[in-house]
Amino acid sequence: MVNRTSQPESRCDVLIVGAGLTGLSAAWHLRGSDTSVRLIEATSSVGGLTKTCEEQGFHFDRTGHLLHLRDNSIKQWIVDDLFKGKLLHIDRVSRVWSSGVYTRYPFQANTYGLPKEVAHECIEGYLQILQHPSKKEVRTAEDFIYAHFGRGFAKHFMIPYNKKFWGVHPKYMTAEWGQRFVPIPKKEDVLAGAEPNPDRKLGYNSSFFYPAQGAGEIAERICTTLPVGAVEFDVALRSISLEEKIAVLSTGERVRYQHLISTIPLPELVRSIQKPSFILEKNSKLLKWRSLKYLDIALNVPARQEYHWCYVPSSSIPFYRVGIYSNLSSLHAPKRKSSLYVELASSHYNEKVLPKVLQGLKEMRLIASDADVQFVSPKLIKYAYVIYDRNHAKVVPAIQKILARNGIYSTGRWGAWNYSSMEDALIMGRDTAHKILNT
């Protein structure tokens, strides 16, 4: 930890706020240049939301964090250079629990195993939309769902699941929500999925990389490649003067910067600005998001299902997704035990919810009885998912434009205010560093 409280004012070319994947990536890509860089982190460890924590011998990420790689330079950096090729490369095993049965993911291409009337309704609705495409303009997420999947798939999975996931009905979200992360099958995929054992790996996450020690190991390894003391822990951003380009830190120090890379949530960044303009403040108040309450659950028995995670659209079960950490890596739980995460549909949690959660886990045959549970640890992520409502496409660029004019790059999943992956975070950090070096 670097102590700078004795320095009332200092200067640097680049001040990076937040040592999550984006901030670390930016610092890494700026290393070795003539640019002076400071990286501050409000907590005592790196990783942001990509951390792995230990509790009573069990290891938990902050729910599912998997590394899907498309960018060759990022793959070279992380897989080959950082991990020397020793990252686990895992083929996805994912399920959907609906109508009292398990089916393969994605639901829209795997109707085999569903009750016959449900499967028929889904496939017929899909074929009808192919034969008679809707003439309605696709504006909302609900429009997107009906236009691509038909009424059956919408009814039995797409609408109820996304309502639980986002906390709002898809009709209040824009179509931008699904363009990358929702697998859109072809006709042959849907028809093949009605038969046993279809061998079709659809979606961006059909395989992924994962560190044996947990997702947090990625940030920790990047940190070790930075100069000693590069990350200033337990130092937060208190305020910013846009005109003077001065950041005041929680230590009381004033830092005069040329460029500021912020990876903290966009509303928090705007709140830190001294005397923000009316437009900046107004647009910031229009940003919407949902918090996530989830449970880390330690089981004193081996995992009773083989999958890595499962989607749960049913409104009768209080969670929308459950994942099994110990199926990703055996190091996540003591021998003959296992660890889970359960993402709740409501951001509110109390002891009355737990019996309903345990009942859902029994229905899904993840536990046989309450005695399987060693402990339950509730957790909260304040900023979990950006809501792509009708304001999003207007207000985010407007805020970013004002910030950019003042030397501030608000980037990363929460700085850019988007729904993105771990790889995207690394890419955004890299691209921001390159932009600064090329100015």
Residue span(s) of the chain under CATH 3.90.660.10 come to 289-386
Q: Model-level pTM greater than 0.75?
A: yes
Residue span(s) of the chain under CATH 3.50.50.60 come to 9-46+213-287+391-437
Which residue in this structure is represented by tokens 């046993």?
A: 196
**So what's the pLDDT on residue 297?**
98
Question: Tens of pLDDT along the chain (439 residues)?
Answer: 444 444 579 999 999 999 999 999 999 999 989 999 999 999 999 999 999 999 999 999 999 999 999 999 999 999 999 999 999 999 999 999 999 999 999 999 999 999 999 999 999 999 999 999 988 899 999 999 999 999 999 999 999 999 999 999 999 999 887 666 788 889 999 999 999 876 666 766 689 999 999 999 999 999 999 999 999 999 999 999 999 999 999 999 999 999 999 999 999 999 999 999 999 999 999 999 999 999 999 999 999 999 999 999 999 999 999 999 999 999 999 999 999 999 999 878 888 999 999 999 999 999 999 999 999 999 999 999 999 999 999 999 999 999 999 999 999 999 999 999 999 999 999 999 999 999 8
Alpha-carbon distance 432 to 263, whole Å?
11
**So what's the pLDDT on residue 340?**
98
Residue span(s) of the chain under CATH 1.10.3110 come to 107-198
Q: Which helix (H) or strand (E) holds 163?
A: helix 159-166
Which residue in this structure is represented by tokens 């003539």?
A: 34
Q: Which residues contact 431 (CB under 8 A, 6 or more apart)?
A: none
Q: How far is CA 135 from CA 27, 125, 139, 174, 179, in A?
A: 49, 16, 12, 17, 19
**So what's the pLDDT on residue 2?**
46
Q: How far is CA 238 from CA 3, 165, 272, in A?
A: 17, 32, 6
Does residue 106 have a cis bond before it (omega within 30 degrees)?
yes
> Cα(first)–Cα(last) distance of the chain, in Å?
31
**So what's the pLDDT on residue 1?**
42
| Beta-bridge mates of residue 439 | none
Alpha-carbon distance 254 to 357, whole Å?
48
The length of the chain, given as a count of residues = 439
Q: Which fold has domain 107-198?
A: protoporphyrinogen ix oxidase, domain 3 (1.10.3110)
**So what's the pLDDT on residue 204?**
64
Q: Which residues contact 258 (CB under 8 A, 6 or more apart)?
A: 12, 13, 14, 245, 407
Alpha-carbon distance 246 to 254, whole Å?
6
Alpha-carbon distance 139 to 143, whole Å?
6
Separation of CA 153 from chain center: 24
Among 333, 343, 342, which Cα is nearest to 299's?
333
Classify domain 9-46+213-287+391-437 at the CATH superfamily level: FAD/NAD(P)-binding domain (3.50.50.60)
Cβ atoms of 391 and 172 within 8 Å: the answer is no
Does residue 160 have a cis bond before it (omega within 30 degrees)?
no
* SS3 at position 136: coil
Alpha-carbon distance 76 to 385, whole Å?
29
Among 156, 157, 134, which Cα is nearest to 146's?
134
What's the token pair of residue 166? Answer: 């986002």
Diameter of the chain measured on Cα atoms: 72
Render 405-427 in DSSP notation, one character per residue: HTTEEE-HHHHTTS---HHHHHH
Alpha-carbon distance 323 to 334, whole Å?
17
**So what's the pLDDT on residue 68?**
93
Amino acid at 318: P
| CATH architecture of the domain formed by 289-386 | Alpha-Beta Complex (3.90)
